């Protein structure tokens, strides 16, 4: 099993190569306030039943509001066959301090 890595908003913004799978694990109400462009929304409580929608061979970056829930999801993914999993430091709050967020309809 790999280890959960942390990634800063700047490192994610500057990511080069194949784009990671960006997974927002917040609840529906939180997502309505704004998202990071390009994300896939899978609420934390649905990760066990919907993680099959993600490719375990590709990098995954998980985020929530501040980074706590997404860290739990990251460990779950690592325990279930995902090799390269990152937790976004500061969650969407950290991202929004430096980069734009968008509405879910635009994502």
**Annotated catalytic sites, by residue?**
64
Cβ contacts of 12 within 8 Å, gap of 6 or more: 20, 22, 61, 86, 88, 95
Alpha-carbon torsion, ordered 89, 26, 37, 41, to 10 deg: 130
CA distance 20 to 98: 19
Q: Where are the alpha helices (DSSP H) in the chain?
A: 9-13, 28-31, 47-50, 68-79, 91-96
What letter would DSSP give residue 60?
E
């Amino acid at each position: 099993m790999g280890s959960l890595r942390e990634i800063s908003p700047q490192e994610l913004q500057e990511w080069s190569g194949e784009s990671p799978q960006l997974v927002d694990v917040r609840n529906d109400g939180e997502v309505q306030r704004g998202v990071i462009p390009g994300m896939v929304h899978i609420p934390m409580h649905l990760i066990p039943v919907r993680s099959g929608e993600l490719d375990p061979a590709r990098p995954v970056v998980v985020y929530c509001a501040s980074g706590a829930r997404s860290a739990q999801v990251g460990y779950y993914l690592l325990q279930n066959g995902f090799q390269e999993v990152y937790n976004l430091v500061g969650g969407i709050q950290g991202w929004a301090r430096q980069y734009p967020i968008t509405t879910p309809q635009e994502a």
